[in-house]
Each structure stands twice: as structure tokens, then as C-alpha cells.
Chains A and B, each alone.
Chain A
Amino acid sequence: MPLASYALGMMDASVYAPEVFARGLPSTLQPSAVGVVPAGSIATAAAPLLSLQGIGLSFGGVVALADIDLSVNPGEIRAIIGPNGAGKSSLINVISGVYRADRGHVLLDGIRYGQVPTQRLAHLGVARTFQNLALFKGLSVLDNVASGLAYKVRSNFAGQVLGIGRSRGEQRDSLSRADQILEFLDLTTVRDRLAGTLPYGLQKRVELARALVAEPRLLLLDEPMAGMTAGEKSEMAGFVRAARDRFATTVVLIEHDVGVVMGLSDRIAVLDYGRKIADATPDEVRNDQRVIDAYLGVASDNEDGAGI
């Protein structure tokens, strides 16, 4: 059964592939437009690439997500923020099919899923990074990034061992594309190091490279800047923006650092206790009273400490 479903996955991929390219092209025109036109008008101009409808998820009695709706337009950088335990990572896991939502469904490119098929995620043009590093420690940086193209490999192991058939071309193609991404993200100097030996900030960037090498239409970033210094954060933000502009990738990103998010995103959704309490442009979110109460905080009115 696993083998059969895998085989089906391959077939589906070849069916979708032309479509992927056909839809990918017009969206290359959009990134420049996104910055200028207010977000609201894009929503009417293009169908959302991803939308969540009434997503609910609970672990035992703990409600992680309650009735979440979210739509992500092609080419935008969409941030999801919220305090710890607000359900941000759960949401990414639902989108990428790691969790199955109890209620609601995920619409990816117009196709409706109860649970997004994880094994086919790459074929659907979705890539993600993980909150805790999920690199392959025993592979070099180059091989880590090249493995982001493993889903495309059609040659079998015998062809690869003997170096015959399409395996040679595939190998050359994977490595050269991985090299291009390494150059793009300024990782060429660590190309041949084992991924596990790199400092934390660089490992985060290698993970971004591994996700980007497949040139996904939708990139899910789970706290890409967690634990970084301010300098590394702004560098990372620059890379995320550059990736969006160069590959016309739609980005959904979870982040704690509100300052970085405000500057980077086109629209921000705010979660609190599994509910979406706001969904608007950075400026609107910054002034939303509920967001301020839940997350951003205010200078205390009670400065003289009366009543304490």
C-alpha cells in the first residue's frame, strides 16, 4: 500500500507539473505590485493561493486552534504572530499536513484537503522550515540543499550507482541548482562543511536554502529568526524578501520579533489562545486594541503603583 500510494503521488506530480509552471509564470509579475497596491485590492484581483476555512484542532482537552480562517494571496509575505502557545506552529503543521485538523479544511491552489498529503507536499509546490532545526546533520551543506530536489529524482538507485540513464543529468542539475541557491543566500563559503558543524544562524539559513531550492510557490517558515541576534535577524529578513522577489514565492511566516515582522510582511494575522484576533496590514495591527492587549503590551497607566 505505501508503495502504491507513492506511485500515485508520482503520477499526480507529472499531471500537475505543467499547471505549476503555467500558474507560476504570471505570479512573477506580482511581487512588484504587492508592495504598491493595498492588500485588500489584491484579494479581489487574484484567487488566494492558500486558504484555511474554519480550522479547529485540539489535543485532548486543550484547544490549539479554534475556527481559524486565513487567506494568503500569491506573492505576499504573510506573517502569523502571537504569544507562546497561541497555536502558530500548530497552524503551520496543519498547512503542511503534519497535523490533521479536527474541523475545517485547507484549500491549496483551489484544491480542498482535509489533511494535506505530507508526502506530496513538495510536488504541490510547498516547502517549509522547522522551528527547531531539522537539517540532515551528517550531510554537507551542499548535499542538504540538493536533497531539497530529491522529490524530482526519477532515476532509480541502480542507474545512479552505474551512472547511466537520466541519473547523471539529474545529479548535475541538482548540484548546480543547489550551488546557485547557496550563492544567492551567501553560503558558498560553507558549501562543503557538514551541516551539523555550522553555527545556529547559518544552519537556519541552510534550512531556508533547502526549502528554496525547489522554488516552491508557497514557503512556510516556522520562526526563521528565533534565537538570532538583531543583525542576523535583519539579514534573514532581507533574504526572505529577496527570495520572494526572485522566485515569486508566497511566504507564510511565524515570528516572535514584532519589529522584524512589521517591516517584512504585507499582512499580519494575530493569534491568541488558538483564535485569530486580528488580520490586517502591519499599520492596522499595530493600532488594534485587542492585539495591543494580547501581545504588544502598553505602557502601564498605573505608574505610581496605586492599588498594588
Chain B
Amino acid sequence: MTAITSNFSAAPVLPKWMASVLLLAFAYGVVPLIGSSYLFEAILLPFLALGLAGVGLNILTGYAGQVSLGSAAFMAAGAFAAYNLNLRVEGLPLIGSIFLAGIVAAAIGIVFGLPSLRLKGFYLAVSTLAAQFFVQWALTKFSWFSNESASGVIDAPRLSIGGLALDGAVGRYLFALTIVSILTFLAYRLVSSQTGRNFIAIRDNETAARIIGIPVLKTKLLAFAISSFIIGVAGVIWAFAYLRTVEPAGFDLDRSFQILFIIIIGGLASIRGAFFGAALIVVFPLGLSRLGGFLLGDVFDSGVLDMSQRIVLGALIILFLILEPDGLVALWDRIRRRLLFAWQST
């Protein structure tokens, strides 16, 4: 195995950071020019928001090994916090309220992370459901959060940074892309730092981690805080840039599961995996509805679509868990290696 990989490192592969730089250059330089408004509104914006939420959950679940079913609650906390900060704090710039919204989500994450000091695995997952139900209940119950709006559905503020309005589809895309890129880069730095190693150590063997002097309790709460911060900011992007409305119903348990599926399908403990998973989750329903409409015509209405989506997605998750537990990332790496090998041997 080592022999094989060392062979490949001799191949003229671009350094790791080069691939990211090229991708970013494409996303900033080319996509805004060629993309249609449908591409931004229906695909890229939800992809960016869910991808970032996946990165956040992956830090907690993939790296630190603490299963959470409360992701949507932290997204909601971020979105509503940003809305209220923007509404109620005079002169706070948009970026400031987004950052503070992340902090609010992180604080809530720490509170709901406290059970992790005692609970593990399945039991912890169930206790994080409390976050899911409590946050949604609080946001619906107290209309102060939605500024006494009768319907509970509120319009997101206009996006602008330093007087530059980012209202159009392209503007919101660039806004989301920038935040997602920065946070993803920082997350990547985090998981390769000593703190990231501590996360993995606690996931793989908590007793050994404690014995060698890793502060287990502090590190677990830190994982909850960082993860919730990122998920909270993802919630802001979801509400402000993608939906442009803020409502509790959009952050229900289904959304939490969706984010969990994203990291399982994409690959646990992989930053790239979150984006692979998010791409699949976003594109897959669109592709399925196109395909269904094309093959079955009018029979394939929205009810059938919804049902078939769930069935196919469920089957896909089972298949992934059995055939490729390391997710799309592992699949991608293997295919790339094969291609390189084929290319080398010619």
C-alpha cells in the first residue's frame, strides 16, 4: 500500500493547495460570467450553505466523534441571531452581525454540548435532539425573535458590505462564496492543528486521550462551540443569501438529518467530503425530477417526486454505508488514482 502511494507521489500531481486555488479562481472568475440565475438560486447558494453546515458538523461528528442531530437548530440560532442583531443594534455592519450570530450559535452549542461530557454515541445523539426541539419551539413561541411578525416568516435584510449592494443572484453568490471559503480554510487549518489531533484522539480512544493529558472535557466543548459557530454562519447564509426569508420551519429535524447525510455520504472526517455530500444532496433531487419528468411525463408529479427522492436517497445512504463507508471522497480519490495510474502507464 505504501509502495503504491509513494509511486503516485512521484507523478506530476499539482500540490494540494494549487487545486484549491484553481477551484477558487474558477468559482470567482468564471462562474459569475457563465452562470445562469437558476444555477445560482437553485444550486450554488444551497450548495454553499449546506456545504458549510456539513463542514461544521464534520468537525463535531467526523473529527471529534460526537454525534449530533441538532445541526438545524444551530443554523436557526445563527439565522435568527443575525436577523435580530442586524435589526436591533444600530450601526453594526452586516459582517459584524454574522460573526456575532456565530458566537451566539456557539454559546448555544456549548450548552447543548454539556451532555457529551457524560453521554456517548446513540445516547448523545438523542440528547442533541433536545437542542433541535427546544430552539425551534423557542423561536416559534416567542414572537420577539421574529420581530412580532404575524406569520413568523420574515424577510432577510438586504445584503451589502461597505456600501456595496449584493442583492442580485451573482452578488449573493459571491457573498456566500467568500464567507464559505474563509471559514473552510480556517476549518482546514484547525483540523490539521494540535487541537484537531486532540479531536481525533478523543474520537478514537477517550481513555488513552485522557491518560496522555489531553483535556477531554474542554476539548469536547470546544468541538461543540466551533462546530456550532460554523453551522450558525451557514444558517445565516441559508436564510439571508439563499432563501431570503427567516422562518423556524425551514430549520426542522429534516434539515438536521440532511446535514448528517451530507457528511456520511461525502465522507466523515473530511473537509472536502462535506462539499461532495452537499453537491449530491442539492443536485440529486433536481436531477431526479428532470429524469422522472423525462421518462414518465405527467405521472411524475411533485408527490411522486418527493416519495421517490426519499426512497432513492435512503437506498443511497445504505449503499454508501456498506460499500464505501469513507464516502464520496474516498471514491473520488480512488478514481483519481486509477486515472493517474492509467495516464502514467501509457
Chain A residues proximal to chain B, CB less than 8 Å: 2-3, 6, 9, 96, 98, 118-123, 127-128, 130, 134-139, 143, 146-148, 150-153, 155, 157, 160-163, 167, 170-171, 174, 190, 193, 197, 210-211, 214
Interchain CA distance A239-B221 in the complex, whole Å: 38
Instruction: Give the chain A neighbours of B1 by CB distance below 8 A.
Output: 197
Contact present for A138 and B213 (CB under 8 Å): no
Within 1-47 of B, Cβ neighbours of A (below 8 Å) are at 1-2
Q: Which residue of A lies closest to B195 (CB)?
A: A157
Contact present for A6 and B217 (CB under 8 Å): yes
Task: Tell me if B296 counts as interface (CB < 8 A to partner A).
Answer: no
With A2-B117, A193-B2 given, is the CB distance from A96 to B195 under 8 Å?
A: no
Q: Which residue of A lies closest to B189 (CB)?
A: A161
Task: Tell me if B197 counts as interface (CB < 8 A to partner A).
Answer: yes
With A150-B214, A160-B190, A161-B189 given, is the CB distance from A139 to B197 under 8 Å?
A: yes
A and B contact pairs by CB, cutoff 8 A, 15 listed: A2-B218, A9-B215, A119-B213, A135-B204, A136-B204, A147-B194, A147-B209, A153-B194, A155-B194, A157-B193, A160-B189, A160-B194, A171-B193, A211-B212, A214-B212
Interchain CA distance A122-B194 in the complex, whole Å: 17
Most central of A9, A150, A151, A163 by chain B CB within 10 Å: A150
A sample of 13 more A-B contacts (CB under 8 A), given A122-B213, A127-B212, A136-B200, is: A2-B218, A6-B215, A121-B211, A121-B213, A134-B205, A135-B205, A136-B209, A138-B200, A148-B212, A150-B197, A151-B213, A193-B2, A211-B212
Most central of B197, B218, B221, B222 by chain A CB within 10 Å: B197
Instruction: Give the chain B neighbours of A155 by CB distance below 8 A.
Output: 194
Contact present for A157 and B190 (CB under 8 Å): yes
Nearest Cβ in chain B — how far from A164, in angstroms? 11
Task: Tell me if B244 counts as interface (CB < 8 A to partner A).
Answer: no
Instruction: Give the chain A neighbours of B204 by CB distance below 8 A.
Output: 135-139
Nearest Cβ in chain B — how far from A285, in angstroms? 29
Interchain CA distance A248-B213 in the complex, whole Å: 21
With A123-B213, A148-B212, A151-B212 given, is the CB distance from A134 to B194 under 8 Å?
A: no
Task: Tell me if B203 counts as interface (CB < 8 A to partner A).
Answer: yes
Contact present for A136 and B208 (CB under 8 Å): yes
Contact present for B193 and A143 (CB under 8 Å): no
Q: How many residues of B contact A (CB 8 A)?
A: 32
Most central of A96, A138, A163, A170 by chain B CB within 10 Å: A138
Interchain CA distance A171-B193 in the complex, whole Å: 8
Instruction: Give the chain A neighbours of B221 by CB distance below 8 A.
Output: 3
Task: Tell me if B178 counts as interface (CB < 8 A to partner A).
Answer: no
Query: Which one of B117, B194, B201 contacts A174 once the chains associate, using CB atoms below 8 Å?
Result: B194
Contact present for A150 and B201 (CB under 8 Å): yes
Q: Which residue of B lies closest to A189 (CB)?
A: B2
Interchain CA distance A200-B194 in the complex, whole Å: 26
Contact present for B201 and A139 (CB under 8 Å): yes
B204-236 interface code vs A (CB 8 A; 1 in, 0 out): 110111111111111001100010000000000
Q: Which residue of A lies closest to B6 (CB)?
A: A192
Contact present for B200 and A139 (CB under 8 Å): yes
Contact present for A157 and B226 (CB under 8 Å): yes
Interchain CA distance A151-B214 in the complex, whole Å: 6
Nearest Cβ in chain B — how far from A130, in angstroms? 7
Instruction: Give the chain B neighbours of A160 by CB distance below 8 A.
Output: 189-190, 193-195
Interchain CA distance A174-B198 in the complex, whole Å: 13
Nearest Cβ in chain A — how far from B21, in angstroms? 18
Query: Which one of A3, A161, A210 contacts B212 once the chains associate, using CB atoms below 8 Å?
Result: A210
Interchain CA distance A42-B218 in the complex, whole Å: 42
Contact present for B197 and A146 (CB under 8 Å): yes
Contact present for A161 and B269 (CB under 8 Å): no
Instruction: Give the chain B neighbours of A3 by CB distance below 8 A.
Output: 217-218, 221
Interchain CA distance A3-B210 in the complex, whole Å: 14
Query: Which one of B190, B203, B207, B217 contacts A161 once the chains associate, using CB atoms below 8 Å?
Result: B190
Most central of B2, B186, B194 by chain A CB within 10 Å: B194
Q: List the 7 closest pairs (A to B, CB-CB), nearest first.
A: A151-B213, A122-B213, A160-B193, A134-B208, A2-B217, A136-B204, A157-B195
Interchain CA distance A143-B189 in the complex, whole Å: 15
Nearest Cβ in chain A — how far from B54, in angstroms? 18
Most central of A161, A162, A171 by chain B CB within 10 Å: A161
Interchain CA distance A131-B189 in the complex, whole Å: 34
Query: Which one of A119, A127, A162, A167 contacts B210 once the chains associate, using CB atoms below 8 Å?
Result: A119
B175-207 interface code vs A (CB 8 A; 1 in, 0 out): 000000000001001100111011011011101
Interchain CA distance A150-B212 in the complex, whole Å: 7
Instruction: Give the chain A neighbours of B209 by CB distance below 8 A.
Output: 136, 147
With A3-B217, A135-B204, A138-B204 given, is the CB distance from A167 to B193 under 8 Å?
A: yes
Instruction: Give the chain A neighbours of B213 by CB distance below 8 A.
Output: 119-123, 150-152, 214
Interchain CA distance A15-B215 in the complex, whole Å: 18
